[in-house]
């Protein structure tokens, strides 16, 4: 059975050792992730955000402040909203590698996490490439997060769609043949990523909107 990878869990697992609560952490890798999601990701469905998690009950979220420092000078302040989401600037990578992210709390008091998710589909007709380009983005994201352990990371080659009732997804291929996929006993449909279909880029017709979809390996 192919394992469904919950993206948020993967991201948290891989980044815990990198972004565990410290007084100061290097900003270079954080900047790379921000740049990947904001500027290099091709898919409109990939979502990612950095959040602050307070570990100590006597610390309020409002007490947490963070900023960027270079050569002992503050160059930018991070903005934390009421939900703990962090807004940080994207710097030229050569500069980001010289910058530290500083937190005004002791080690172990707070943690910085990166949460990754996939936006739900909102229409029942979607181009094949618009969906499956997500796999390339997720491969790049996992490789970046895994770093030197990237050879352990999975390579995504299918999308799995989950429904609340029997459903189907179909399209007409380049030979005029209708490709139809139907839900299994768990109301799931798995569609492979194929180069010929990426090149053809057919329009996928959903009989109903899935409740979610995600890459699987």
The pLDDT value given to residue 141: 83
The pLDDT value given to residue 44: 92
DSSP secondary structure code for residue 18 in this structure: T
| CA separation for the pair 55, 65 (Å, rounded) | 15
9 pLDDT band, cuts 50/70/90, is: very low
R_g of the chain, CA atoms, integer Å:
20
In the chain, where the domains are located:
7-118, 125-216
The crossing angle, in degrees rounded to 10, of helices 28-35 and 128-146 is: 180
CB 209 within 8 A of CB 200: no
Comparing 8-22, 74-88, 101-115, 164-178, the range with the smallest average pLDDT is 8-22
Q: What is the pLDDT of residues 132-160, one digit of tens each?
A: 999 999 888 888 876 655 455 567 899 99
| b/e code 88-114 from CB counts within 10 Å (16+ = b) | bebbeeeebeebbbbbebeeebbbbbb
The label of the residue with tokens 């030979």 reads 175
């Amino acid at each position: 059975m192919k394992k469904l990878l919950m993206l948020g869990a993967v991201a948290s697992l891989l980044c815990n050792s990198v972004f565990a609560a410290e007084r100061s952490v290097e900003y270079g890798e954080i900047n790379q992730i921000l740049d990947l999601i904001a500027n290099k990701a091709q898919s409109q469905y990939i979502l990612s955000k950095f959040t602050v998690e307070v570990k100590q009950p006597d610390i309020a979220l409002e007490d947490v402040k963070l900023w960027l420092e270079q050569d002992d000078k503050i160059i930018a302040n991070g903005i934390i909203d009421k939900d703990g989401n962090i807004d940080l600037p994207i710097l030229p990578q050569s500069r980001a590698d010289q910058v530290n992210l500083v937190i005004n709390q002791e080690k172990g008091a707070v943690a910085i996490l990166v949460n990754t998710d996939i936006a739900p589909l909102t229409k029942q007709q979607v181009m094949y490439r618009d969906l499956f380009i997500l796999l390339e983005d997720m491969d790049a994201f996992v490789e970046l997060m895994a770093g030197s352990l990237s050879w352990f990371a999975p390579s995504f080659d299918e999308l799995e769609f989950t429904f609340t009732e029997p459903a189907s997804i179909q399209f007409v291929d380049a030979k005029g043949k209708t490709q139809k996929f139907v839900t299994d006993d768990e109301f799931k449909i798995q569609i492979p990523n194929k180069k010929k279909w990426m090149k053809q880029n057919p329009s996928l017709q959903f009989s109903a909107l899935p409740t979610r979809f995600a890459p699987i390996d």
